[in-house]
Amino acid sequence: MALQTNWIVQKFGGTSVGKFPEQIVDEIVKVYTTQFKNNVAVVCSARSSDTKAEGTTSRLLRACDLVCNSDPSFAEVLQKVRDDHISNAKQRISNPELQKKLIQDTIAELDLVEKYLNASQVLGEVSLRTMDLVMSCGEKLSCLFMAALCNEHGVPAQYVDLSSVIPHDYECRQGTLDTSFYTFLVMAFKEKLQPVLDLHAKGEPVVPVITGFFGLVPMGLLNGVGRGYTDLCAALIAVGLNADELQVWKEVDGIFTADPRKVPQARLLASVTPEEASELTYYGSEVIHPFTMEQVIRAKIPIRIKNVQNPRGDGTVIYPDNVAKKGESTPPHPPVTLSNSFFEQRRRGATAITSKSDIYVVSIHSNKKTLSHGFLAQIFTTLDKYKLVVDLISTSEVHVSMALPVPDNDSAKALKKAVEELKKLGSVELTKKLVIISLVGKQMKQFIGIAGTMFTTLAEQGINIEMISQGANEINISCVIDEDNAIKALQSIHSKLLDLNTEVELGKAVNEKLEQIKRLAL
């Protein structure tokens, strides 16, 4: 039995769809379908013609906010989305029929959104469900456009809308995003893609262009998954199709040892483990949505991060170093033959460094002599009440320090109220304008002295450390410093711990292993 299905799922982010749609179709989708003979499924996010903050999803959410504040200017925001998509269709789709149909479909979707928002304005609220419905429009418009562009460029494609795959009453039946929910989604996606699979079976392959918005999830998509949900959707599609690889296409060559915009010496990593990718994303390097990994890794599908502007590059593979690939009950035999070259190749302890801005530190000095029973529970109950998240925590006998992300005005207001309540427990000190610097690496726990080098380097640079914390999984050492010192800290720690280049060799080994697995599976 052939274990490889030849399916590859390619996910494209909003800015890539906005800036490089022709390259996506001609240099990526067409190359994989015709040259490499893969079955390709495409998943797209909502278009952003420039930055994500000015992208379609952000605009649609802003329109919802305006409606909540009874501000009628939401119509102007919708008009911007309309103008942007119509001019894009006119500019990029020249076949009159395809263009006419695309513009008609675009207008119909936006008219629907306008209806929802007008109704919400009358009701005086935008429910979670309405917000999801409005948000879904972004991915629908983007995929309608990409499917039209594929067809225009000679790649037969079919638009697939996932926005109604979750039944209305699902919330009542289940309630949370647990494993059974993901299993349900995978089955639902499979069913939705069956007509495409049937065409493939008949020898009429077509590329499904699938909305990365996947339905009205219990509690709302933003609460349940958050921005970047299309990565998760692509992962679940990869599982449903039993794909050989999930490719997440971005505007960087892959995952680097640090954000290349901040550390020019940063190196591209050939591979990282899912845990490392999650930590990096959580602590400021937004490379992939953290929920993505679990689904695909469970199905033993590798994730490859690649660059839309450099499709021939190898990118970065996210794959655990101790698991056999899909279809294998045990690792390729004999495992020893691979162990020297593959992921076991030692790095120098740390894999990458990252920074997360907009951090406040709250320090509470208990008014008792020792931390009394219930002290921490009271702190967390208060933070929970104001929906505040704690990124790092460190405690001593009568003292607790916590680093919290405060990215916007709403969370700043919430924190102010929480601090007032926390004052009942002791003296509270609040420090603002901080960043978390995190050193991440699965090998770090086996190396002595990494934390020492990290903190000595900061001391040598005259950088004061506000707080220190080591992640319980031992693959993350973090500290909090003043935001003005962030770049200096990243660059100096990088040059001490991450400048050495072992990646070229490691890259070869990663590809060698995946090739071997492919051969074994055929």
Ligand X SMILES: N[C@@H](CC(=O)OP(=O)(O)O)C(=O)O
Ligand Y SMILES: Nc1ncnc2c1ncn2[C@@H]1O[C@H](COP(=O)(O)OP(=O)(O)O)[C@@H](O)[C@H]1O
Which chain residues interact with ligand X by CB under 6 A? 13-14, 45-46, 52, 55, 57, 138, 212, 227-231
User: What is the closest distance, in whole angstroms, from the C-beta atom of residue 415 to ligand X in the complex?
Assistant: 24
User: What is the closest distance, in whole angstroms, from the C-beta atom of residue 233 to ligand X in the complex?
Assistant: 8
| C-alpha to C-alpha distance for 371 and 400, rounded to whole angstroms | 9
From the list ligand X, ligand Y, none, partner contacted by residue 252 (C-beta under 5 to 8 A by kind): ligand Y
- Using the minimum distance from each CB to ligand X, give the nearer residue, 15 or 355: 15
From the list ligand X, ligand Y, none, partner contacted by residue 352 (C-beta under 5 to 8 A by kind): ligand Y
User: What is the closest distance, in whole angstroms, from the C-beta atom of residue 48 to ligand X in the complex?
Assistant: 6
Query: What does the per-residue mask of binding to ligand Y show for 343-362, with x meaning CB under 6 A?
Result: ---------x----------
Give the tokens for residue 70: 């009874």
Do 328 and 255 contact (CB within 8 A), yes or no? Answer: no
Give the tokens for residue 453: 């080098």
Phi, psi (deg, nearest 5) at residue 292: -65, -40
Amino acid making up residue 309 = Q
- Using the minimum distance from each CB to ligand X, give the nearer residue, 307 or 366: 307
Residues binding ligand Y: number (CB under 6 A): 17
Q: Which of residues 250-269 bind ligand Y (CB under 6 A)?
A: 250-252, 255-256, 258-261
| C-alpha to C-alpha distance for 401 and 2, rounded to whole angstroms | 55
Which of these, 468, 459, 464, lies nearest to 439 by C-alpha position? 468
From the list ligand X, ligand Y, none, partner contacted by residue 287 (C-beta under 5 to 8 A by kind): ligand Y
From the list ligand X, ligand Y, none, partner contacted by residue 227 (C-beta under 5 to 8 A by kind): ligand X
User: What is the closest distance, in whole angstroms, from the C-beta atom of residue 254 to ligand X in the complex?
Assistant: 16
- Using the minimum distance from each CB to ligand Y, give the nearer residue, 41 or 193: 41
CA 113 vs. chain centroid, Å, equals 26
Q: Which residues of 234-270 are buried (b: 16+ CB within 10 A; e: fewer)?
A: bbbbbbbbbbbbbbbbbebbbbbbbbeebbeebbbbb
Do 235 and 292 contact (CB within 8 A), yes or no? Answer: yes
Beta bridge partners of 210: 43, 160
Which of these, 384, 423, 374, 420, lies nearest to 404 by C-alpha position? 384
| C-alpha to C-alpha distance for 341 and 254, rounded to whole angstroms | 21
- Using the minimum distance from each CB to ligand X, give the nearer residue, 15 or 469: 15
Q: Which of 285, 443, 476, 485 touches ligand Y by CB under 6 A?
A: 285
- Using the minimum distance from each CB to ligand X, give the nearer residue, 138 or 218: 138
- Decide if residue 225 touches ligand Y (CB under 6 A): no
Q: Which of 15, 33, 151, 292 touches ligand Y by CB under 6 A?
A: 15
- Using the minimum distance from each CB to ligand Y, give the nearer residue, 19 or 101: 19
User: What is the closest distance, in whole angstroms, from the C-beta atom of residue 135 to ligand X in the complex?
Assistant: 7
- Using the minimum distance from each CB to ligand Y, give the nearer residue, 151 or 355: 355
User: What is the closest distance, in whole angstroms, from the C-beta atom of residue 308 to ligand Y in the complex?
Assistant: 8
- Using the minimum distance from each CB to ligand X, give the nearer residue, 227 or 488: 227
Do 37 and 270 contact (CB within 8 A), yes or no? Answer: no
Which of these, 490, 491, 470, lies nearest to 479 by C-alpha position? 470
Q: Which of residues 408-467 bind ligand Y (CB under 6 A)?
A: none
Return the SS3 of 283: coil
From the list ligand Y, ligand X, none, partner contacted by residue 230 (C-beta under 5 to 8 A by kind): ligand X
| C-alpha to C-alpha distance for 513 and 522, rounded to whole angstroms | 15
Return the SS3 of 440: strand
Contact footprint for ligand Y (CB under 6 A): 13, 15, 52, 250-252, 255-256, 258-261, 280, 285-287, 352
